[in-house]
Amino acid sequence: MTTSYDLVIRGGTVGSATGSFAANVAVKDGRIAAVGQGLPAGAREIDATGKLVLPGGIDTHAHVEQVSAGGLLNADTFESATTSAAFGGNTTLISFAAQHRGSDLRKVVDDYAALAKRGALIDYAFHLIVANPDAKTIQTDLPALIGEGHASIKIFMTYDLIKIDDEPLLDLLLTARKNRALVCVHAENHGMIAWMGKKLVEKGYVAPKYHAISHPRGSEPEAFNRLITAAELLDQPIMIFHVSTAEGAAVIRQARGRGLKVFAETCPQYLFLTKQDLDKPGLEGAKWMCSPPPREAADQDALWQALALGDIQTVSSDHAPYRFDETGKLSAGPNPNFKQIANGLPGLEVRLPLLFDALVSKGRPEFAGRGLEAFVELTATAPASLYNLPNKGALLPGYDADIAIWDPQKTVTITDEAMHDLTGFTPFAGRSVTGWPERVIRRGEEIVADGAVKASPGSGRWLGRKGGWAAEPTGRLVADMDPATNFGAKLL
Ligand code: URP
Ligand code: ZN
Ligand code: ZN
């Protein structure tokens, strides 16, 4: 007897951004073929009784095989990072093709593409980091690369060697607008951070915990407002990365309330950690050092609220893996001051379990009983929509069969040893979470099962993303750029 489906996942509860229901999921040729009851047998069957069948996670902010602003190569390869991501329930990753001062953006993209093609075992795309905003980059390379499917740009408003000042920021926003790309921004006030850092070190305040103090809370809303003002001038959609403060979230809320095309992300480190985590004996606190730093418990509450209200639409890992040794955090020697320690922490593998535990298992009150829907929305459906990832982020017929089967009862204590990335530690070690992704399926192929990785390096596919404005998570089209709503922009 011939069977029409390659795989049927039977007996589980299917979760989506709008609701959950008992259904079988059938897969054919790497795509979802049907979702419903009473589906005929597949060539393969998975019994998902008691399990949640969810879209694979999409992590849209991870630094992989990337050279930092300070010239340090991070610890992961595309193989290790995507293996770790897959174990954490993810099937798609957006990392970076990172230009530095003086480097050629096209060559940068070619180099990262070659690395990912060799190593990635989940699907992937790149944000183009622009740190050398010269005429060739802005007028020639960016338009061409966006046209070829790299439809998001990332810039930094801080970090000495890669920051973009206000004038080139406007150049970039205009190029993005003309080519219909999204501009993602690390927005902190550089002068305040640099000044605070110098003053603290001069006075001998050098331990990792002073990193948090060196990033004043006000550096975030100041930079957000400046960025938003520039984006408003050109009517250009922006994505504000890793929001950490209540004040930052309030700026975003106000801007969105005015109808501006402002989107935002936060990360587990701002939802689950605080600046107290950096206050450890010796240099240990370096493991919790990222930029912006974790803040206060009240900021965590404000960020959860901003997620529930839709002011912040997605939660990414900002995985930035630096080992706690001379290749990473301690690359400046055994006694660095906090300014000499690489910023960033790993998170690809635990982003989804931490969020699942908070939203689904513990039921954060802000989400009023809709934690599962919020989990799917924030980690899969909204990212696919915001970053133009076609046929990703939902279990709908015709979509890629990217599926994570979760055991909602399984309690796991996170440990350094259990992680599959190459950082060697996780800042979330010791936490227990309930809910774990047991099987992960990418385009119909099982890539994690029975605690083992099944996919081969290089089997992930690059996802071309056309320019075009993202739809809101609700499906409403966000931006109709023609004609410009802003008089100044019409002249350019
Ligand atoms: O501390 C962080 N987040 N390091 C990675 C680079 C960045 O700022 O996103
Ligand atoms: Zn950043
Ligand atoms: Zn980052």
- How do residues 406-462 score in pLDDT, each as one tens digit? 999 999 999 999 999 999 999 999 999 999 999 999 999 999 999 999 999 999 999
Q: In this predicted structure, which of 38-52, 150-164, 369-383, 473-487 has the lowest mean pLDDT?
A: 473-487
Query: Which residue puts its alpha carbon closest to atom 8 of ligand 1?
Result: 291
Domains with residue ranges and CATH for the chain: 57-373 (3.20.20.140)
Can you list the positions of beta strands (E) in 82-122?
90-98
The mean pLDDT value of the chain amounts to 94
pLDDT at residue 469 in the model: 62
pLDDT of residue 477: 33
β-bridge mates for residue 447, sequence order: none
Protein residue whose Cα sits closest to atom 4 of ligand 1? 344
> What pLDDT score was predicted for residue 478?
37
Question: Is the CB–ligand 1 distance for residue 157 below 6 Å?
Answer: no
Task: State if residue 186 touches ligand 1 by the CB under 6 angstroms criterion.
Answer: yes
- Mean pLDDT over residues 268-294, rounded? 98
From the CA of 37, how far away is ligand 3's center (Å)? 42
Tokens representing residue 393 in the block:
């982020």
Residue 477: count other Cβ atoms within 10 Å of its Cβ: 10
Residue nearest to atom 7 of ligand 1 (CA): 291
What tens digit of pLDDT does each residue of 200-214 get?
999 999 999 999 999
Ligand 1 contacts CB of residue 320 (under 6 A): yes
Instruction: Summarize the confidence of residues 481-491 as an average pLDDT.
Output: 45
**Ligand 1 center–CA 360 separation, angstroms:** 28
Predicted local distance difference test score (pLDDT) of residue 491: 56
pLDDT category of residue 481 using cuts at 50, 70 and 90 = very low
- Does pLDDT of 192 surpass 70? yes
Residue 388, ligand 1, Cβ within 6 A: no
Spacing, Cα 7 to ligand 2 middle (Å) = 40
The response to whether residue 131 sits with its C-beta less than 6 Å from ligand 1 reads no
Residue 98 CB contacts under 8 Å (≥ 6 apart), including other chains: 63, 66, 67, 108, 112, 129, 131
Q: What share of the chain is helix, strand, coil (3-state, %, to 5)?
A: 35, 25, 45
In terms of Cβ atoms closer than 10 Å to its own Cβ (0-12, 13-18, 19+), residue 450 is exposed
- Identify residues whose C-beta is under 5 A from ligand 3, the ion: 318
Does 318 sit in the ligand 1 pocket, CB within 6 Å? yes
Per-residue pLDDT at 391 exceeds 90: yes
Cα of 59 from ligand 2 centre, angstroms: 14
Q: Are 305 and 366 in contact (CB under 8 A)?
A: yes
pLDDT reported for residue 470: 52
Residues 164 and 159: their CA atoms lie apart, in Å, by 9
Average pLDDT over residues 290-316: 98
Q: Please report which confidence band the pLDDT of residue 472 belongs to, taking 50, 70 and 90 as the band edges.
A: very low
Residue 487, pLDDT above cutoff 70: no
Q: What pLDDT was estimated at residue 468?
A: 76
Q: How far is the CA of 62 from the centre of ligand 2 (A)?
A: 10
What would the pLDDT profile of 124-136 be if each residue is shown by its tens digit? Answer: 999 999 999 999 9
Cis-peptide into 292, omega within 30 deg: yes
Check residue 169 and give its pLDDT.
Answer: 97
Taking the CA of 318 as reference, the closest ligand is: 3
Examine the pLDDT at 234 and tell me if it is beyond 90. Answer: no
CB 69 near ligand 1, within 6 Å = no
CA distance 28 to 7: 7
